[in-house]
Amino acid sequence: MNTAIENHWYPVAMISGIDGPRETLLLGKKITLGRKDGTCWVKDATGKALPTVERFGHLWTSPGQPNRDLFTIPEADSPGRRLVDVGSVKVKCSPLRAVENFLDIAHFPFVHTDILGAEPHTEVDRYDVKIREEVDEVWATKVKFYQPQAAKSAAGGITTEYMYRVPAPTCSVLYKTCPPRPGEWDIITLFVQPLTDEWCEVWPWMALYDDESTMSEMVSFQQLIFMQDRSILENQIPRKLPLDPGMEVPTQADMTSVAYRRWLKKIGYTYGAQLVAA
Amino acid sequence: MSWIAVGLKKDVPPGIVIPSRLADTELAVWCAPSGSYHAWSDRCPHRGMRLSHGFVRGNTLACIYHGWQYNEAGSCDYIPAHPKLTPPDTICVPTYSCTEAGGVIWVSLEATDQPLPELGGRVPVRSVPIALSAENVAAHFGAGSAPTVAVVSDHDTVLALQPCTDTLTMAHVLASPDADPKAVSRWVEDLRATLEGVPA
Amino acid sequence: MILYDYVLSASCYKVRLMAALLGTPLILRAVNFHPAREHKSPEMLALNPKGTLPILQDGETVLTDSADILRHLTMDHPEWRSPDDDRWLAFASDLNESLGLARLHDVIGYEADIDTARAAGVTALRKLEAHLTEQRFDGLIFLTGKAPTIADIACFPNTALAPDGGFSLDPYPSIRLWMRAVRSLPGFIEMPGIHRLHELAHPA
């Protein structure tokens, strides 16, 4: 029992997708979940009820005793946003690799070509990164990148501004320039369920201002983006995320990933991490 | 350590990178526009992505993830996120001895002064995966341990064996220039079926 | 022409790819196959009682089989046809039950007899490799000859996306060169899981 790992909240299902009882894995252990009289429940393999939270369209649970509430995203509650259940994709990689990839912009021209990036617009300018001690979260701000089609709602190429937030070890929230409403942020999240330390189920969720696109179009757009990442994530060696410097070489563009790895090490979050260079 | 075949020249023309492996060593094998062959560790030092998923651009192999380019010596010489930066010499990919002879691409994981295997004028036909260890394939030909090259009487064939995993061997097949390649190709499929113990 | 489309479907991609190579414009209607199962909604079932995708609507004509759709799109393009197409269209259709099913299993948790699907997938890849290798002995790169036909477009998606379902394409050099030839065709479009041939663009 490692409380630094078990005392977190983890996404385990999209609430609208729960019909009958279902088995899944959390941190390598079998759990069962379902819904009765409109309320979701989760049990561990011994039949013991686990704590639950229903938030952001997803069911969250914890195998331990979380010492704080699941994080919130107050901006997502503002009126006029459309909440998008993207569904899940399974990936054979460490949950931490999946989060780190979400925090990275330098891959856009090569992996999300002509959508989130395109050559020759490959340069990543300096941005601000910090571990906000008072909330124990990683934040990257003033991240700017040229994007040919930043969102389903974007009409053409724009320089997009991003803010990244890591409020929990396997979750990230992205605040991104909203093409139809300059001055507001679109919210795109990546909630990662660690099935095991080398296998995860990824639940993206979005809260967007977009009055034009159909719900199916917004879901398609985000699934397209994430499936482009999946073929990368399944081909990184090792599958676990190396936390010790030396095994992988970062540059200035990787400041968010460097801070994320440092923060994981600081809070003792080692599930899906590789601590000693192989 | 001797030379081991990892592919055929005709399957890896200039501008192509392929994944390959020798036991526990995963390789990116690529051919520069100049025609020279390279076998590298299949891992970009930046974020661990397989370089065999990358692309050959000019005389470099680039990683598909962030486009980092490595010159023919294995040193990183361009990082697209920082186009004005000259990457430090320390960013480089481990490289192995690699050469092409007789239409076959040969790799040695360690420095070697051994000569390349003799092919007796035979020409490459095709490479075939067999779902067995190299030892088990070799045992079929009465060899005690896995030979780099087995000479087989059918069609006067040479099988250059590449041990990949406990359940995968690549057999690079060469035959007399006079042989009908389709007949050799079908023969090796029958041979594989026999070895794997399933009907063709 | 309207294509009822799911962005991650290999069969829908066959249609998008064929239309792109022909320069035929399509109006895409996104269908939320996963997670919302919109292809089984009353509106979609009214259009296609089988509840499958893709669906191509061309005026009064509604086609729901991807092989039929490829034939329909190339009706006036004899250069995209060969007498050998039919056997490869059937082969491509079978790939849905092997490579395609394993992909849905691994990516979105589809229920499947995964061992059977994987074994059938390896058998299919070996068959494809053997055929393409023999084609190369004759100096041909595509399935039916020197030029691509609907046979290639039908077989390409599930083959190229096989790694999504846990298949390694590493041991198949002729498949690799064939896929590269398809990806190099003028007008080629990718889908998630199939990367752009970056070597062809924007030299630094």
pLDDT 10s digits, B93-147: 999 999 999 999 999 999 999 999 989 999 999 999 999 999 888 888 766 565 6
pLDDT per residue as tens digits for the range C17-58: 999 999 999 999 999 999 999 999 999 999 999 999 999 999
Q: What is the 3-state secondary structure (H, E, C) of A23-86?
A: EEEECCEEEEEEEECCEEEEEECCCCEECEEEECCEEEECCCCCCCCCCCCHHHHCCCCEEEEC
Pair B102, B157 in one domain: no
Confidence of residue B155 (pLDDT cuts 50, 70, 90): confident
Pair B132, B54 in one domain: no
Chain B residue numbers touching A248 (CB-CB < 8 A): 45-48
Low-confidence ranges of chain A (pLDDT < 70): 1, 277-278
Confidence of residue B18 (pLDDT cuts 50, 70, 90): very high
Could you tell me which chain A residue has the CA closest to the CA of C161? Answer: A231
One of 3.30.70.20, 2.60.120.10, 2.60.40.10, 2.20.25.680 is the CATH number of A1-70, namely 2.20.25.680
| Lookup: tokens for B124 | 């490459």
Partner-chain contact B67 C198, CB within 8 Å:
yes
Number of cross-chain residue pairs from B and C with Cβ atoms under 8 Å apart: 55
Contact of A141 with chain B, judged by CB distance below 8 Å, is answered with: no
ipTM above 0.85, yes or no: yes
Residue type for position C117:
A
Last residue of a domain, one of B77, B108, B139: B108
Note the pLDDT of residue C201.
64
Tell me, yes or no, whether B117 lies in a domain. no
Q: Calculate mean pLDDT across residues B178-184.
A: 96
The rounded average pLDDT for each run of 10 residues, N- to C-terminus, in chain C (204 residues) is 97 98 98 95 96 97 98 98 98 98 96 97 98 98 98 98 97 98 97 89 50
- Write down the pTM of the prediction: 0.96
Could you tell me which chain B residue has the CA closest to the CA of C135? Answer: B182
Note the pLDDT of residue B135.
87
Chain B residue numbers touching C174 (CB-CB < 8 A): 11, 126
pLDDT per residue as tens digits for the range B59-80: 999 999 999 999 999 999 999 9
Note the pLDDT of residue A180.
87
Note the pLDDT of residue B200.
42
Note the pLDDT of residue A145.
95
Pair B100, B32 in one domain: yes
Partner-chain contact A113 C198, CB within 8 Å:
yes
Q: Range of C56's domain?
A: 2-77
Chosen for mutation from A119, A249, A254 (greatest number of chain B CBs closer than 10 Å) is: A249
Note the pLDDT of residue B165.
95
CA of A123, closest CA in chain B: separation in Å?
4
Partner-chain contact C35 A85, CB within 8 Å:
yes
Q: Where are the domains of chain A?
A: 1-70, 79-274
Q: Which CATH architecture has domain A79-274?
A: Alpha-Beta Complex (3.90)
CA-based radius of gyration for chain B: 18
Chain C residue numbers touching B167 (CB-CB < 8 A): none
Strands (DSSP E) contained in chain A are 10-14, 22-26, 29-36, 39-44, 49-50, 52-55, 58-61, 82-85, 89-91, 128-132, 137-147, 158-168, 171-177, 185-196, 199-208, 241-242, 273-274
Note the pLDDT of residue C7.
96
Chosen for mutation from A96, A237, A258 (greatest number of chain B CBs closer than 10 Å) is: A237
Partner-chain contact C32 A219, CB within 8 Å:
yes
Could you tell me which chain C residue has the CA closest to the CA of B21? Answer: C170
Chosen for mutation from A228, A240, A251 (greatest number of chain B CBs closer than 10 Å) is: A251
Pair B92, B134 in one domain: no
Tell me, yes or no, whether C192 lies in a domain. no
Pair B57, B149 in one domain: no
Tell me, yes or no, whether B90 lies in a domain. yes
Q: Residue A39, exposed/middle/buried by CB under 10 A (0-12, 13-18, 19+)?
A: exposed
Contact of A278 with chain B, judged by CB distance below 8 Å, is answered with: no
pLDDT averaged over chain B? 93
Tell me, yes or no, whether C194 lies in a domain. no
